[in-house]
Structure 1
Amino acid sequence: MAGEHPIQGLMKTAMENIKEMVDVNTIVGEPVETPDGSVILPISKVGFGFAAGGSELNFESSEEKGNGGPQDKPFGGGSGGGISITPVAFLVVSRTNGVQLLPLDSETHIYERLINLAPQLMEKLQNSLKNKKQDASENNQQDYLS
């Protein structure tokens, strides 16, 4: 394009390269089938960043010549990007055990256990509060009768 700014070309090239590197198979890896018929899918966390910048350089000599239009100014710029891929878990699908998520790091494992235990903890807390309420009302009745 004639009216395209040079920074647009830098950004387009960087974004196309990132698009080539990141696809769904980067996050959910290729499935692996085991001899017992189970399928294992690696799950990864993907983070990426992108930056581009530049400047039109203004030289006094081009202004003196009367060529001060935007096409006459030299452009200097650059772009870059980075990707971080961290494996976090394996999703195991088997006929005997169903679907299981096997986390790789202990932090994820702790969060998963807390989420799984939350309903049980809430039930225990509710039962505990009910028992305290009953105990308090029984104590009040005994005091009243005494």
Structure 2
Amino acid sequence: MTLLRTARRLAGAALVLTVFAAPAASSASAQAAAHPSLRPADVIEPPLPVEEFPGQVREACGIWQGLDWPQAPRPTDYPVADTRLVIRGSNVYGNRSRDLPLDGRYREYDVNPRTPGQYRDAERIVRDPDTRAVWYTDDHYATFREISSGCE
């Protein structure tokens, strides 16, 4: 019987802790909203230079730098020099998940060129043209890692 009472007491304490923990979580969200430099947990730290990313990320940075990071009013496929491939870019990225700094204005760019008509894959570069900050996602915006240099 003593073990059962202890278990009930612990279960009750856990419930109380859960109830009292909820406002702290919402105040953390409010704090993150008030301070755009605070980031959610799905931004992988630390930022890395482009040389630390997979080769296709370095190549994509080179393609987009060569195209001067276009900002077309609608999604556009751009020809990749000396190939029959295209690469999509300049889409507005709305940051609705609030994973990136809230005061940014973002554009998304594909990482992998493709044959015209083929479906796009999940890899993207997201860039703020004002600050020139750049992030990479290989899982269609579930996680991001900032590219600290080499992809401005």
So what's the TM-score if we normalise by structure 1? 0.25
> Comparing both structures, which one devotes a greater share of its residues to strand?
1
Higher relative contact order (CA 8 A, sep 6+): 2
Larger Rg: 1
So what's the TM-score if we normalise by structure 2? 0.25
